[in-house]
Structure 1
Amino acid sequence: MSIGDFPELQAACLSKQARAVWAKHDRDTEGWLPLWRHMADSGLVAGLLWDEWLPGQVRRLIATALPGGMDDARRLAVWLAAVHDIGKAAPAFACQVEALAVAMRDEGLAMPGEKRMPDRRLGPHGLAGQLLLQEWLTEHHGWARRATAQLAVVVGGHHGVPPSHSDISELRRHPALLRTPGAEDAWRAVQDELLDAAALACGVGDRLADWRDVQLPQPVQVLLTALVIVADWIASNPDLFPYFPDGLAGQERRIESAWRALDLPGPWTAVEPVGAPADLFAARFDLPPGARLRPVQEEAVRLARAMPAPGLMVIEAPMGEGKTEAALAAAEVFAARSGAGGCFVALPTMATGNAMFPRLLRWLDHLPDEHAGTGAHSVFLAHSKAALNEQYAGLMRGPVADIGRDGGGSEWHHRADTPAASAELVAHHWLRGRKKGMLSSFAVGTIDQLLFAGLKSRHLALRHLAVAGKVVVIDEAHAYDTYMNAYLDRVLSWLGAYRVPVVILSATLPAARRRELAAAYAGLADADPHAAEYAPIAEARGYPLITTVVRGAEPAISCPTASGRGTEVTLVRLSDDLDRLADLLADELAGGGCALVVRNTVDRAHAAAARLRESLPDTQVRIAHARFLDLDRADNDARLLADFGPPATVAAMKGERPERCVVVATQVAEQSLDVDFDLMVTDLAPIDLMLQRMGRLHRHERGEGQLGRPARLRAARCYVTGVDDWNGRPPMPVRGSRRVYQTYPLLRSLAVLDPYLTDLTETGAAGVPPVRLPDAISPLVQDAYGSEPVGPDEWHTETEKARRAYRHHRADQADRAQAFLLNGSGRDGSALVGWVDAGVGDVDDSRRGRAQVRDSKDTVEVLVVQRRADGALVTVPWLTEGRGGIELPTETAPPPRSARVVASCGLRLPWQFERSSVLDRAIAELEANYFPAWQTKESHWLAGELVLVLDSDCHTRLAGFQLDYSRSDGLKVIADD
């Protein structure tokens, strides 16, 4: 079977009427492409995509739904791509270009002019094609109309949104949009002729009878739709497939030239690792000679090999146990067994994504591949500021493709003189942009990119194809709230239906949440998440813990031994008084040392840092939070690692640790930063976050028995503050913490920690045990997130009141999440009609897009520049590497390098600007800083962005607030009195 015969068949055998039907038209050149040619191009591309690009994991899933297996699956995919635009052989479409419509009328295909068809919007060509294909299957091949929908909806949805039932009903009430009255026979003959020719060329004519009773699962329909979309987009690019009506060029030469120019990297073909896990880790992660695996790492590989099929693996282990490396090793085993063509690592934030990206690249550099040397692997950094990442930018080759509504609006042009990258990893020119980037084989990005797969939105099928062919790794799984978890659970149910291997990582996962994740992947989330076979998952109390789930099999639980690393942390109550904090740190750091003070809000961090600088003149006081410019925040993270990272990192980057230093940080210190402090002071937080913070205390061995630390700080101590009155019943967390986390989780955290807390004057008091990490992690988390009462009896009245408020809050989150939440995968044979009805339209990784899958208030991001005293507009002066103080023209577009520096100075306005009236006022004032020359194509880095202009002292006013920015403290916001 070969679609390659299709063009010759068309040119030689099709009627003049069929050859006159057009598909593409260029208004500038008046060039056009006949429908038969575009059908052939699309089918050929689909065949190449199937053979050379689509991961085996996806092909196998489609093949399992068809009686002829893989051969049937390829035939079906190629045929659907070939017929996807059959709806263009209808008057509602053909009337749009009068000169081409005249040529069709001359061949007997009568149609009114475009202006005489005011209702033609009811018959878009995708929907028209679905109805025409359904008619052809019923009238010519004996299909029941209901059975035709599961195939025809692929045609109907190839522009990103499957039609709704009302769309279909409305078009059926307007048959003149499909065939002009009085010329119905002529139109029907052409439509049938093109469909018959496609069936013959694609080799499906003798298979349609066997497919009549097939019940295609919805996941298969989604993947076929996505494949057709990709094939259509490629075949619609006139630089690859030039427009001409006569078809003189041979089809074989045409497709070979296009495919060679596209140079699309093939999928990863994983080689299953053999031998001892220690050998695998040594080969992939550059372990030093003699290094021993952590038991969790060894067990993850053993279980991946022992599972009856690749599925879900949930790894719960302490901070610093190498969970990421365990996940990548398991992913390699899973990919080799499942046919996954890549890997996606999802993390909570852009910063954690940026930190993970070089780790992924190092892993990829060590991976074997069955097809090594035959081409590059495509990689993608999946967040809105990826282009500003230096490592990712260095992998880019070729310009970005920007696909328009019909797939033909691409601005990509192949440059024949561009040499292929010598490296194996490239950010491929075609696999960039908000709709296609995740189709790259390997990706690191924010969790939003995964959650978007559960959001009813345009081109959702592409997002599903992007993850359906990969192994998915989800890090920091405890970091998501009820709203986000609603999307995560729904996405997991689809990933389970796609048989996608998933590895979930967490140091601190509540047992009930563990069961919810497992049940979602197993497809029980909408049925019986409390099924008996999943009860042990919620009851397991071992730690570390690895849970495995394969659809159709009972889940399994493994408890690998701990690595033996451990820390005993003494917890001490500390009043929420800045003078008392300053006195404490002066005493504790008298002999030197490095302390971390974690505050739950930026305002509290600013206040603490200011007071400590006054009281500790001989101590370096630094601050770290999210209200820094992007470049400043990245530099802050690098300095933290250079000063407080693992001994080997510190030695490699600068060679010594500060003698005496206090870092005042917000939650940015909790995740994915491998930093280590001698002493900690932290605001009360939910228990999982408290434990994450404690994981930054004595994280690394500094000399035998911690003798490398100052004598006073060789025993780990964590002071707990952020409570209004420790004598309260219960002690009430400060207002800012309650606003961030809700009162109930904070009180439950305090209740389970209460037996470990001593007063400042009683440190080391007899009978008060330290918190032993990691042994205490699971018991504390399970108790805090369990349903049993905890804490003194006199706390229960207030705790119960907080519980009711928290349940209401979570119910509200869950209800709001349902608004655009995708349905489950449905029953076999149920067509995707109405799949994304009432959706959000297009979605991307903008702030507004992320707000759709996160329970966050809308705010805006600004690009920060400075107005010098002489009136010149410049980049802020302290930026390193020649980026500071660059003069910026306003009458012309800034040079690309200057514009990129400005784009790297993004800053999100904080919570004070969330209220709609304040936000509207702020946007209006920011729009006054409008430089028309910055909104042109020549300034793509800056076009559409809001610019915040600071004065020469780095101050400004906005919407009734005073804004002050400094390199040391970031943004401060002061309200008018």
Structure 2
Amino acid sequence: MSIQEVVGPRTRWLMHVSFPEHHASPGRRLDCQCVRLPSSPVNTEDSGTSAQGPLGVLWGKSAEKAGGQANLLLQHLLDTAAVAELIWDQYLAPSVCRALEDSAGDGRGRQMFAWVCGIHDIGKATPAFQHLDAAGAARVLGAGLAWDPRVVARYSWRHDRAGGLLVRRLLADVGWSETSVEWLWPLVAGHHGLFPTLGQAQEPSRAREQLSGKGPEWKAAQRDLLKSFTRALGFRCVAAVEPNGVPSRAMQLQISGFVVMADWIASDQNHFKGVDALQRVDIHSARDRAALAWERLGLRGGWGELRQPGEAAFRERFGRDPRPSQAMVMDVAARMDAPGLIVVEAPMGEGKTKAALAAAEVLASRWGLDGVFVGMPTQATCDPMFTNVRSWVEAILPSLASQVALLHGKRMFNKQWRDLLKDDGPGSDERFAGVGEDEFGLDDPYGTVDSLCCPEAAPERLAPAEWFLGAKRGLLSPFVVGTIDQLLFAATRTKHVMLRMAGLAGKVVILDEVHAADVYMSQFLAEGLRWLGQARVPVVLLSATLPRMQRRDLIAAYLAGAGHHEVVEASEFAMVPDPTGYPSVTAVWSDESTVGNLVKHCRSWRSDLQVAVELLAEQVSGTPSNSDRLTAGDAQVLSLLRERLADGGCALVIRNTVPRAQMTFEALRAEFGDEVQLLHGRLSAADRADRTEKCLRLLGPPQPEGPRRPARMILVATQLAEQSFDVDADLLVTDLAPMDLLLQRIGRTHRHAGVQRPEAVAEPRVVVTGFFPRDDAPPEFPGAAEAIYGRYLLLRTAALVCAAAGEHWSVPGQVPQLVAKAYDADRQVVPSTWVEDERRARAEWETRQRARAESAEPFLLTRTGEHTRPTLAGLHRGGPGDNLSEEQHRAVVRDGDRSIEVVLVRRDERGYRALSGKALGPNGEASRDVLDDVLGGTVRLPAKLTEAAEDGLVPLDGWRDHPWLRYSRALTLDESDTARLGDYVLRYDRLLGLVVDGPRR
């Protein structure tokens, strides 16, 4: 038994502690009682905490990294805890706070959260860290904490891992249960982004005592540090901190992300100058520092506690009453017994996105959620969604429109996003570029900029706080629109993945066009759904054409995360029935030990279109590949359009590859001239944006004050026109694609009401080409189409097209049945003469699908068989990488051949010019006036040129110090807009875009 004085920052306590048998037994709390003594500074000599004692010399930040004056370790722990208190008060969603309260117990959630965040750097109280700064080491040695300089210089031991082992020992010593210790120590050991195993966290055995602190002096200093920090936060003793429960593994990962967030903010020397005198260290000054930093950084959360939307909410948000399917989705969201997964399946143009946003508002108000993440299939589809989400958020609460972030690698091309940032005052472009232009791989983990120290001169931001726009932090913004990749990244075993998962905590997650995820991407999607299910984050999935098994797999993954792992292995899925109508909504949730579900359907807001199906057989073998000859297929399409558009009309021609689209465009333009437009992925960023905007303006929804619909227009496009592309064609001509994608393409025809159409195209019609059917044998497909989609699905879709030729498909009513026929392998759909070919194709397809799924496993956040582990220890064991660039992240979550983007510039006798023609500096220097022109020349190369581009292309000399251009590879064109790259000749054509000729001989 002992009586000792424990000193907090402004209060002295007398603690009576009972030590049975000189140490605490595992899983048993110590009996401690504390009595408050009169207030005094933290410098009593009895506890070894004088200015010359351990707490007065243990440093957390060197003078170099703390604004010219060292920061004591205790001060940094308190600073971080104070920031964590603000995160709790002004950022965390109510749902997250309630979950943390449940784990902590006794109303200690906020206090416990601050303690967990603050204790992260306790591993710095070791010789392994304290010797790293000469000035700081001298003070520590002078206070009687010794080490062998030869040993500590030879061996290294990271302070995050040291902290993990240190808290394991210290917490066990005071009686924390093994269960509580085991989930907490990985959060400390992993706060630099990677969770080690217990073995990986151990110090080198040959230097164990020297690195961790040999002798009673070090152990006493470590105990005093922990006690003083704990007392400052209001706990009576360290033993009293132990939570009553263990948070779920998903919540542990989210807490870890908030630990990193608090640490990064408190490590900013612009806001947290060093404090090297113990008498000035206390929690009150730390809170003052944190409050000032928080205000200057402009950090804030979302809408907090959101009121239940009234009956008129939909009209107030979107300007009209909900359609039946939209009302159905909102009704289901209001009737769920717990946060869960909602799958919305509805036709193209039905208004699924508005339904999802309305449902998100319902879910947020019911369960205390604080924001949304909307994930789109491509960067191009993100931009219009960003505008829509800003309008929706503004309709709910005008001040929150500024909190919507656009999150994809080419957001600097979005004019609205750029304008929002420019409104932040002089130099805002440069400040933003410095922290956000490569949001996945900046060297500076904090992304701090000196100009942020004086925000008083800056106007109110119209975009989220600059801090949120730094490396790896985008999902922490209250409202986010980005590619689905952002969610997939959160399911990868990469460094700082906890920041991404923390960014999804307390949000409603909406994912559009989920059918577009192939089997490889689906592994990451399922992994993300498991973690979100466990975290009780509601998810809304949207699709027009979702195969039955894909829907079941997504539901099973979410429910498995919610604790129902048997669903994943179940051969029958009777637990959740399939919808029997279309549009439909399927909702599932976990209510304690049971699974709840609601499955509803209704009629579409508009009558079914009777789409005539026409077959235009195309001879595949023996067609020329060079663009100076008219192929038989293009000649057929030209003849067809000449006939059907004789009296006018607007046609959409979709080709499966860029070269094929370019050839068709040239063939049609020779006759129809400027009435033909071309849209594909190898246009420069500027040209693609301009043409997309033009097509949407001319063929989009009729507007009272908009331009008149063209009397005749032909748009030739690739798969860009397949989804989230709101154009209305009178006639669709399309290459064959798998049934779900074919139906997506059909959704671009006769899409809008009130459009006057010429008589020849007054009836909805799809003309399917791009393959050659045969009477007594399987059809012929182009090699490129088979490479993209696989022969198996093309065979089954071709069979359904051939059977329907001359007939009609009822769209959207027949969509579920058509998709089911194409994807249900047990249904016989091909003619008997194709059966053997289909069998071989199916075997090849299944083998490839398995291989692609298995190739994702090394990168998934959780290894096979480890989803039920209780803690985060070893989560990053064998991970795929630490700091990955966005292109590398994309390569992780999207398989297939890698491709990269380059910036096209011209060079002539006058020097360098942007693709637009504007002059650059002698070494390519780009001023602010021409930056948009330079970036507008960005184009994605075909995958076959990736290696040559990586080997041969670098930034221009004048770009090397530019915040946005220093990572860009320049492809320099000559005066004829031609360049050589490896064995290929490339030229950029004003109409065709990037044309690849070769390989050259």
TM-score, reference length from structure 2: 0.88
Per-residue CA shift, 1:447-482, capped at 9, x if unaligned? 110001110010111111001221000000100100
What is aligned with 1:36?
74
Whether the aligned pair in 2 keeps the contact of 1:449 and 1:845 (CA below 8 Å) is no
Return closer, same or farther for 1:586/1:394 CA change in 2, 3 Å cut-off: same
Cα distance, 1:491 vs structure 2: 0.3
SS in 2 for 1:857: coil
Candidates 220, 226, 245, aligned match of 1:214:
245
Matches of 2:752 and 2:696, distance apart in 1:
13
Return closer, same or farther for 1:839/1:280 CA change in 2, 3 Å cut-off: same
Cα distance, 1:438 vs structure 2: 1.2
Cα distance, 1:856 vs structure 2: 2.5
Candidates 2, 6, 11, aligned match of 2:42:
11
Letter in 2 for 1:87: G
Alignment of 1:84-483 (within 5 A): 84-113=120-149, 116-121=151-156, 123-139=157-173, 141-145=174-178, 147-171=180-204, 174-181=207-214, 184-205=215-236, 208=239, 211=242, 214-246=245-277, 248=280, 250-269=285-304, 271-276=306-311, 279-287=312-320, 292-368=321-397, 378-396=403-421, 397=424, 399-400=431-432, 402=435, 410-418=448-456, 421-422=459-460, 425-483=462-520
Candidates 825, 844, 851, aligned match of 1:787:
825
Return closer, same or farther for 1:728/1:57 CA change in 2, 3 Å cut-off: farther
Return closer, same or farther for 1:702/1:545 CA change in 2, 3 Å cut-off: same
SS in 2 for 1:856: coil
1:912 aligns with 2:944: yes
Matches of 1:533 and 1:801, distance apart in 2:
27
Return closer, same or farther for 1:11/1:404 CA change in 2, 3 Å cut-off: farther
Per-residue CA shift, 1:793-812, capped at 9, x if unaligned? 22111111110010011001
What is aligned with 2:662?
606
Cα distance, 1:536 vs structure 2: 6.3
Matches of 1:891 and 1:637, distance apart in 2:
32
Cα distance, 1:433 vs structure 2: 2.0
Matches of 2:849 and 2:745, distance apart in 1:
25
Cα distance, 1:737 vs structure 2: 0.9
1:523 aligns with 2:560: yes
Whether the aligned pair in 1 keeps the contact of 2:162 and 2:202 (CA below 8 Å) is no
Letter in 1 for 2:950: I
What is aligned with 2:986?
963
Whether the aligned pair in 2 keeps the contact of 1:52 and 1:266 (CA below 8 Å) is yes
Cα RMSD after superposing both structures = 2.6
1:857 aligns with 2:893: no
Cα distance, 1:26 vs structure 2: 3.6
What is aligned with 2:610?
568
Whether the aligned pair in 1 keeps the contact of 2:699 and 2:728 (CA below 8 Å) is yes
Letter in 2 for 1:848: Q
What is aligned with 1:645?
700
Cα distance, 1:87 vs structure 2: 0.8
Alignment of 1:495-894 (within 5 A): 495-523=532-560, 527-529=566-568, 531=570, 534-535=573-574, 537=576, 539-552=578-591, 553-576=595-618, 577-614=633-670, 616-617=671-672, 620-648=675-703, 651-653=704-706, 655-703=707-755, 708-727=756-775, 729-758=777-806, 769-788=807-826, 789-823=828-862, 830-842=870-882, 846-868=886-908, 870-877=909-916, 885-891=917-923, 893-894=925-926
Whether the aligned pair in 1 keeps the contact of 2:75 and 2:275 (CA below 8 Å) is no
Cα distance, 1:53 vs structure 2: 1.0
SS in 1 for 2:542: strand
Which has the higher mean CA deviation after the structures are superposed, 212-221 or 598-607? 212-221
Whether the aligned pair in 2 keeps the contact of 1:627 and 1:970 (CA below 8 Å) is yes
Matches of 1:603 and 1:532, distance apart in 2:
44
Return closer, same or farther for 1:526/1:452 CA change in 2, 3 Å cut-off: farther
Return closer, same or farther for 1:325/1:376 CA change in 2, 3 Å cut-off: closer
Whether the aligned pair in 2 keeps the contact of 1:297 and 1:323 (CA below 8 Å) is yes
What is aligned with 1:898?
930
Return closer, same or farther for 1:394/1:804 CA change in 2, 3 Å cut-off: same
Per-residue CA shift, 1:617-645, capped at 9, x if unaligned? 46722211100111111111101111111
SS in 1 for 2:97: helix
Matches of 1:6 and 1:638, distance apart in 2:
65
Whether the aligned pair in 2 keeps the contact of 1:384 and 1:845 (CA below 8 Å) is no
Which has the higher mean CA deviation after the structures are superposed, 454-463 or 854-863? 854-863
Matches of 1:827 and 1:531, distance apart in 2:
17
TM-score, reference length from structure 1: 0.90
Matches of 2:519 and 2:853, distance apart in 1:
6
SS in 2 for 1:718: strand
Whether the aligned pair in 2 keeps the contact of 1:179 and 1:188 (CA below 8 Å) is no
Matches of 1:925 and 1:828, distance apart in 2:
47
SS in 1 for 2:406: strand
Matches of 1:728 and 1:913, distance apart in 2:
40
SS in 2 for 1:332: helix
SS in 1 for 2:113: helix
Return closer, same or farther for 1:210/1:441 CA change in 2, 3 Å cut-off: closer
What is aligned with 1:926?
953
* Unmatched segments (≥5 aa) in structure 2: 1-6, 13-38, 436-440, 619-632
Return closer, same or farther for 1:110/1:60 CA change in 2, 3 Å cut-off: same
Return closer, same or farther for 1:432/1:281 CA change in 2, 3 Å cut-off: same
SS in 2 for 1:662: strand
Cα distance, 1:842 vs structure 2: 3.3
Cα distance, 1:522 vs structure 2: 0.9
Letter in 2 for 1:84: H
Matches of 2:883 and 2:87, distance apart in 1:
25
Matches of 1:30 and 1:618, distance apart in 2:
68
SS in 2 for 1:395: helix
SS in 2 for 1:582: helix
Per-residue CA shift, 1:644-685, capped at 9, x if unaligned? 11112xx544x2122222111100001111100111110000
Cα distance, 1:571 vs structure 2: 0.9
Return closer, same or farther for 1:728/1:602 CA change in 2, 3 Å cut-off: farther
Which has the higher mean CA deviation after the structures are superposed, 960-969 or 487-496? 960-969
Cα distance, 1:335 vs structure 2: 0.8
Which has the higher mean CA deviation after the structures are superposed, 536-545 or 489-498? 536-545
Matches of 1:252 and 1:690, distance apart in 2:
59
Cα distance, 1:206 vs structure 2: 5.3
Return closer, same or farther for 1:637/1:932 CA change in 2, 3 Å cut-off: same
Letter in 2 for 1:667: Q
* Unmatched segments (≥5 aa) in structure 1: 759-768, 878-884
Matches of 1:23 and 1:520, distance apart in 2:
43
Per-residue CA shift, 1:806-863, capped at 9, x if unaligned? 0011001111000111117967882211112111233556222211000132222101
Whether the aligned pair in 2 keeps the contact of 1:55 and 1:340 (CA below 8 Å) is yes
Letter in 1 for 2:415: E
Return closer, same or farther for 1:537/1:632 CA change in 2, 3 Å cut-off: farther
Return closer, same or farther for 1:845/1:356 CA change in 2, 3 Å cut-off: farther
